[in-house]
Amino acid sequence: MSLPNFKFPTHRFPACLTGILLVFIAWSCTNQAQKSAQRPGWETYRGDPSSNQYSNLDEINQENVSRLKLAWSYRTGGAGDNTSIQCNPIIIDSTLYGTTPDMRVIALNARTGKQLWTFDAGPELHSGVNRGVTYWHAGSDRRIFFCSGQFLFAINALNGKPIPSFGNGGKIDLREHLGVNPEVVTITVSSPGIIYQNLIILGSAVGEGYDSAPGHIRAYDVLTGEMAWIFHTIPQTGEYGRDTWSWPASDACGGANAWGGLSLDESRGWVFAATGSAAFDFYGGNRKGENLFANCILALDAKTGNRIWHYQMTHHDLWDYDPPCAPNLVTISRGGKARDVVVQPSKMGLLFVLDRETGIPVWPIEEREVPPSQIWGEKAWPTQPIPTLPEPFTRIGFTPEAISDLHQGTKAFLMNQLDQMQFGSIYTPPSMEGTVSMPGTRGGAEWSGAAVDPSKGILYINANEIPNILQLRWSSSEGDSPFDRGRSIYQANCAVCHGLDRNGSPPTFPPLVEIGRKYHPDTIASIISNGKGAMPANPQYSGSEISAITAFLILGKSEEDPAKPDSLHNGRFVINGYRQFLDAEGYPAIKPPWGTLTAIDLNSGKRIWQRPLGEYPELLAEGISTTGTQNLGGCVVTAGGLLFVGATKDEKFRAFAVEDGSLLWETKLPFGGYATPATYQINGEQYVVIAAGGGGKNGTPAGDYYLAYKLDDGTSY
């Protein structure tokens, strides 16, 4: 920063004063430059293309955060059974763009919360989950890109109207170009795409059953909707990585999808993705091999989609260990030199830190031997990569010493169950008895990812420490009656959430045992086909298949065939639902904390501090504190030395000090804030906004709020 172009009259002042004044002027100019360089908005999902959830705004800081006051609130409407708002809104100039529980887009005045417009894709698309939207502009052309169901919509950012020149009347069908029949594909996009020049690049959310779609990554022209490129996350014949798969010619493999979003290195022109597990998630006897590019960090050329490098974090995944979020792009200090890195949080509670240019680990990652699978036809990969640094941010693996003793009788109750199951390392395979997986499919990092202060190289992450039970069962093939066909479809695709016994896992996945008493058969069929609340639509099922599933749900009993299979053509292994390992009162089976907030120095790989995140009021009343709760939704770090996070089951919004995690401010939300907040500035005032939609996997009441806070200036609202 150069000094202003004028001659200072040094002959009129003593030399010492002249030096002081020159230093003061230089500091003033530098300070002004820093202020002018501050990003007043939150223009991209997770803050910026690096996915660091960081803001250099500092009007709200440790000294004054206690003065935060509600500036405005807005109710979206559209809350229903088990809905939620997981949206991290973006703020462009003074307009906030977000989504609602029933999958509409809203534009609000970010200073007052007044609605400017709303976009509704139609009642048939009012189900599912959305975590944000994408903004693009060129001159006066300003667009919001939004995904609902199988469609990508282009919307005029000024008035909320579809842009008819994009695709087919303002939308494109994302079921196309996947190499399979679009009519049998189920695909959504829960995390928004990312912009590179005139391209929008997208991952996707696909099913986790045997008949799932492939999760190929694609780029589309922002003006026309034409597909520009595709990267096959499941390699096609002749492509690199195809030899890491072996599946029967009659079958197809799906999954390996980047459902957690994307990151962009704008200077290199590279896009980074983290892909999920191959489907079926918990059995791979029909997809033998390492399974590239499932469970990989990928660096792709953003212009062409060509692979630059990859790193696989889990070989032949059997645990649903798909990375839940896009990686953080950070510059750290190693050996006194700056080094660009990619940092990938994982469900396993591990951080993978790779050189951004080459994909080579910054610290050694060891291939360690892991237990074999005892399931017929399965061949678990013999080793798995374990980072030596950074230090884990959760407990990993499960031992009897970890069993909870929360109340009298708790430990005995849990030990009785544990004696009948397998447990051990994070890579103990699923079993017929049930395997305790820790931190489990809900554990470690969540879709909200991590926040990083790029000026210090410090990472902050909230996480879950809740064990799951991975239990496989054999589902034999039956006859061709509608009932038997419905049972087969249910066990292969629906039991993942609702269990083989159809008892669900309330409140996240409701029981279906007596659904015939609650709903008319036509209503059940409509819910299966079109979705409801957090349940997505299922357009892949034909009318006869939906009728078959409906018949089974109303009339059926779910009983696995205990016979040892002769071949996979006689049936399939299925999972007995997403089950947490809980005590008799519904608390996690492991000793607290069950939810944590952690700071890690990426320059050294060492953990700086960790604190429990969230409380159970009923346990506090018993004098049991610092338990933490399951938390969903991420944290934001600011130049004001603050960490803002909602996420907890106690429905509070909090601010912590970055140095030691001490609590500086908290407020009770009207509903749970299971979303990543955003912060922005208008007319010199800094705001912090969070969606409070409750519901969802935390099972608290569902709501429909956006709430913005700013410093109390004595004004009444």
| Model pLDDT, residue 507 | 67
| Model pLDDT, residue 562 | 43
| Model pLDDT, residue 556 | 67
| Model pLDDT, residue 390 | 98
Residue 378 forms part of a structural domain: no
| Model pLDDT, residue 22 | 39
How much is the mean pLDDT over the chain? Answer: 90
pLDDT digits (tens, 9 = 90+) for 671-713: 999 999 999 999 999 999 999 999 988 899 999 999 999 999 8
CATH label of the domain that carries residue 480? 1.10.760.10
Q: Which amino acid is at 462?
A: N
pLDDT digits (tens, 9 = 90+) for 357-413: 999 999 999 999 999 999 988 999 999 999 999 999 999 999 999 999 999 999 999
- Distance CA(380)–CA(714), nearest Å, equals 63
| Model pLDDT, residue 638 | 98
pLDDT band at 115 (very low <50, low <70, confident <90, very high): very high
Residue 10 forms part of a structural domain: no
Taking alpha carbons only, the member of 35, 34, 38 closest to residue 56 is 38
Residue 401 forms part of a structural domain: no
User: What are the residues whose beta carbons fall under 8 Å from the beta carbon of 408, sequence distance 6 or more?
Assistant: none
Q: Which two tokens stand for residue 79?
A: 């809350």
Q: Under DSSP, is residue 487 helix (H, G, I), strand (E, B) or coil?
A: helix
Question: Is the model's pTM score more than 0.85?
Answer: yes
pLDDT digits (tens, 9 = 90+) for 224-278: 999 999 999 999 999 999 999 998 876 778 999 999 999 999 999 999 999 999 9
- Distance CA(450)–CA(540), nearest Å, equals 34
pLDDT digits (tens, 9 = 90+) for 12-69: 344 444 444 434 434 443 443 344 356 788 999 999 999 999 999 999 999 999 999 9
Which of the pair, 315 or 474, is modelled with greater confidence? 315
Cα–Cα–Cα angle for 147, 153, 158, nearest 5°? 115
Domain tally, the chain: 1
DSSP-H helix ranges across 450-606: 482-489, 495-498, 515-518, 521-530, 543-555
Residue 285 forms part of a structural domain: no
Q: Which amino acid is at 57?
A: L
Residue 527 forms part of a structural domain: yes
Residue 528 forms part of a structural domain: yes
Contact between residue 327 and residue 296 where contact means Cβ atoms under 8 Å apart: no
Edge-to-edge strand list for the sheet holding 579-580: 435-437, 468-470, 579-580
Contact between residue 65 and residue 58 where contact means Cβ atoms under 8 Å apart: no
pLDDT band at 570 (very low <50, low <70, confident <90, very high): low
What sign does the CA torsion over 150, 124, 114, 165 have? positive
470 DSSP β-pair partners: 435
pLDDT digits (tens, 9 = 90+) for 632-675: 999 999 999 999 999 999 999 999 999 999 999 999 999 999 99
Contact between residue 373 and residue 318 where contact means Cβ atoms under 8 Å apart: yes
Query: What's the longest Cα–Cα distance across the chain?
Result: 102
Q: Which domain covers residue 526, as residue numbers?
A: 472-576
Contact between residue 321 and residue 347 where contact means Cβ atoms under 8 Å apart: yes
| Model pLDDT, residue 502 | 83
- Distance CA(434)–CA(411), nearest Å, equals 19
Question: At residue 133, does pLDDT exceed 60?
Answer: yes
Q: Which residue bears the tokens 């009441």?
A: 701
Residue 480 forms part of a structural domain: yes
Question: At residue 2, does pLDDT exceed 50?
Answer: no
Residue 340 forms part of a structural domain: no
pLDDT-wise least confident of 31-40, 126-135, 174-183, 575-584: 31-40
pLDDT band at 568 (very low <50, low <70, confident <90, very high): low
- Distance CA(403)–CA(418), nearest Å, equals 9
Question: How many secondary structure helices (H) and strands (E) does the chain include?
Answer: 8, 43
